[in-house]
Structure 1
């Protein structure tokens, strides 16, 4: 009999005794931290953005001998930040250095900041949303910037001049957006009512839809497999295989309260989930193995 490949996937919670943090950096002089973004790009992997009430800090992490966090640039942000995304055009390899990032704000505006890390800082304001902005995201080739809002729309902006390309109408607030890692023309949009759609941005139409009929809090692509998608819905973590998206492949209850965020680790083996209402952070190991039967 010809051997077939059978995939076995499971979620394994990681249990560890409570320990003291390895390193603590005090930012209390700036007030409450509203958003944190770690760069997803290898060439700026040590870069972080920290958003406060009216400022965004660009910091860099060092792990050489001891852990250090160094502030590089401070940007004035006139409204509370609700979302962050850093552009793949950001680079410290060549001179002059270049930093580009987008910030969604409580005043319903998207601001795009550019800096050469010296004295040339600019801020471009993108208008169009009429409610809170829940997500902003540059695609991996820096062609588009997407913004998701409570106004039941996702807007697609060209990064060349930041002109509006399209407004995608939805049936409920857009909670999360994420670009396909290997195809910059594909955008995942998650709606509050539990619908997740994969859009072709060139045609501005959905090519795949998943509806679990439970309120969606967050969704994220696996970093190791572009066909694996995670979603957090009414406290339940679901893993989807987009090759067979009719039903989730795995699920586990994480929180008793709705809301929260999930994120795959860069290697794709772990999933972190946090729920501020419960004040808890949980880490699970996602295992995908193949065996012959």
Structure 2
């Protein structure tokens, strides 16, 4: 990549890594780090990538205001248009039939695989920075620059507003069992919440904004990526296990491999 890397994710089979960059491209890599494909049709920075559960489709979110769907060979399948500003995050539902997107236009949109817009979720008062489906597919979590997270049902009805962070909420992720929600914030902390929106833990240790959080497949470990240049690993009770150093700039995204043995990180 020729500019900072915003997002990284493993394919469900663990064999491919996708990365999104401010250089306007998505790249696919094998586990040895060999570049397989460069996906080039976005007209602006690519902010986020997500694989479908079957691993056959990749969704990318861009500052060009669109979401694009691609097959594993890098062929463009669909362009999802409807947001009026940059799209910052994208997530597939567990059944692979619905795509959620989050935008600077303060909305979350739900789409079907053919690119048809199903719902627009409105309620945030600033840019929506991250969106994630619960493992059972019934709940959508959104994180916003307005400092709160919201939980929605599939019909677009707002269920809960989670308040507690004192700055932007930059990333949100469900645990594999769906019982816990992790949020990363510009207030340098991670918070853990239960499904009812009750705050369980605040994880402190990073010295700058926390950009990304990801649970391990067994749900026992949480990884966080920060503008302090480190990744931290935590257990479910909020105890810090490890600090991973090596990047020389902000770490913007972190993702576990499906077998839980490898962690990928993307940096500025």
Change over 3 Å in CA distance of 1:112–1:198 after alignment to 2: same
- Which one of 261, 266, 269 corresponds to residue 217 of structure 2? 266
Q: Return the offset for 1:179.
A: 0.4
Q: Is it true that 1:187 corresponds to 2:140 in the alignment?
A: yes
Partner of residue 114, structure 1:
71
For the residues of structure 2 that align with 1:212 and 1:106, how far apart are their CA atoms? Answer: 29
Q: What does 1:3-22 correspond to in 2, within 5 Å?
A: none
Cα deviation digits, residues 140-190 of structure 1 (max 9, x gap): 11121111011110111111x2111111113221121110102x2321112
Once the two structures are TM-superposed, the CA of residue 272 in structure 1 deviates from its matched residue by 1.5
Q: Quote the Cα distance in structure 1 between the aligned partners of 2:200 and 2:35.
A: 42
- Tell me what 2:8 maps to: 37
Picking from 51, 54, 57, the partner of 1:86 is 51
Cα 1:280–1:205 shift into 2, 3 Å:
same
Unaligned runs of 5+ in 1: 1-29, 62-67, 91-98, 289-293
CA-CA distance at 1:85 after TM superposition: 0.9
| Aligned partners of 1:36 and 1:48 also within 8 Å | no
1:95 equivalent in structure 2: none
Q: Larger Cα Rg: Structure 1 or Structure 2? A: 1
- The yes-or-no answer on 1:145 pairing with 2:102 is no
RMSD: 2.2
Distance in 1, Cα, partners of 2:8 & 2:127: 22
The Cα shift of 1:33 comes to 4.6
Unaligned runs of 5+ in 2: 239-268
Q: Is the 8 A contact 1:193 1:214 kept in 2?
A: no
Aligned residues: 233
TM-score with structure 2 setting the length: 0.78
Matches within 5 A, 1:41-190: 41=12, 44-52=13-21, 53-61=23-31, 68-78=32-42, 79-90=44-55, 99-115=56-72, 117=73, 121-159=75-113, 161-169=114-122, 170-182=124-136, 184-190=137-143
Distance in structure 1 (CA, Å) of the matches to 2:235 and 2:138: 30
Runs of 4+ in 1 over 4 A off after TM superposition: none
Q: CA deviation at 1:256?
A: 3.6
CA deviation vs aligned residue, 1:17-70 (integer Å, no higher than 9, x gap) = xxxxxxxxxxxxx423523432363xx222210234143222221xxxxxx233
What is residue 232 of structure 1 aligned with on the other side? Answer: 184
Distance 2:211 2:151 in 1: 22
